[in-house]
Amino acid sequence: METFISAAGLAERLESGERIVLLDVRWALGAPDGRAAFAQGHLPGAVYVDLESELASHGTPGAGRHPLPDPAEFARAVRRWGVHDGDALVAYDAVGGLSAARAWWLLRHAGFTDVSVLDGGLRAWTEAGRPLEAGAVRPEAGNAAPGWGVMPVIDIDEAAAWPGRGVLLDARAGGRYRGEAEPVDPRRGHIPGALNLPAAECLDDAGRLLPRDVLCGRVAGLGAVGGPTAAYCGSGVTAAFLVAVLDHLGEEASLFPGSWSQWSADATREAATGTEGGAPDPRAHTTD
């Protein structure tokens, strides 16, 4: 199992005849429905996955914008995608894996072990000279029987106490972390004690994962090595990408699904501003 797989590596596995289910998770804040883009061009045989309805339940202020889906509903979605027990799964998107990692995390949480994110996503695939196909894909239903509860998760109270026991990483852009701007959630700022590691800064200009030694240096610089680490973002989407990056580096991290959208909606929770650690993100990413 590879947390991130290259376009060349995926093509090689597909050409070997291995059964791999490809999941297209095109989503972004402000453009949550990727069906039209999927229909215009996607990896051959890929299935469109709707993040809003299949990778989350209906959000409320008390639970955040993208609470984890109901396990039974997620299992039905997995079977709709044509997944059978034992299948390999690769999720991709058009933003370097920042949204596809939500599918990776949920599938791992449901007990699937051979799950990867396509490094560089759609762009890496096309730049490698690989073909796309257009139109809808309606697979035959699979027979998978997903479980639940495999990946570590923390709730809002645990998030409040986490900086006292380990490292809490905020995956949002630096401006949102510092409280300079907040495009979607009720209040500006971050959870007190959290350190900033923008998920987008784990990617190069081509949307591919930075070299391992660079990522190791950034993670180690924040102390997120060998001890308790947890991650949050706006609503638990790009934080799943940070969890995947840490998994790629051999580190485990818990996910706070409610993230800032849940925290900022609770007036009893303090909102810190300014910089407590981590580098600001010089680019304007509003993925989550």
Q: Does domain 4-127 have CATH number 3.40.250.10?
A: yes
- pLDDT value of position 133: 97
- pLDDT value of position 60: 80
Whole-number Å distance between alpha carbons of 204 and 202: 7
Least Cα distance to 197 among 158, 164, 230 occurs for: 230
Per-residue burial over 115-141, b if 16 or more Cβ lie within 10 Å, else e, is: bbbbbbbbbbbeeeebeeeeeebeeee
Using DSSP bridges, classify how beta strands 195-196 and 229-232 pair: parallel, antiparallel or unpaired.
Answer: unpaired
Q: Which amino acid is at 13?
A: R
Whole-number Å distance between alpha carbons of 274 and 277: 9
Residue 216 among the catalytic residues: no
Where exactly are the structural domains of the chain? 4-127, 156-263
170: phi then psi, degrees, rounded to nearest 5: -100, 120
Contact 173, 283 (CB under 8 A): yes
Catalytic hit among 194, 231, 233, 245: 233
Q: Which fold has domain 156-263?
A: Oxidized Rhodanese; domain 1 (3.40.250)
Tens of pLDDT along the chain (288 residues) come to: 799 999 999 999 999 999 999 999 999 877 788 999 999 999 999 999 999 999 999 878 799 999 999 999 999 999 999 999 999 999 999 999 999 999 999 999 999 999 999 999 999 999 999 999 999 999 999 999 999 999 999 999 999 999 999 999 999 999 999 999 999 999 999 999 999 999 999 999 999 999 999 999 999 999 999 999 999 999 999 999 999 999 999 999 999 999 999 999 999 999 999 987 544 333 333 456
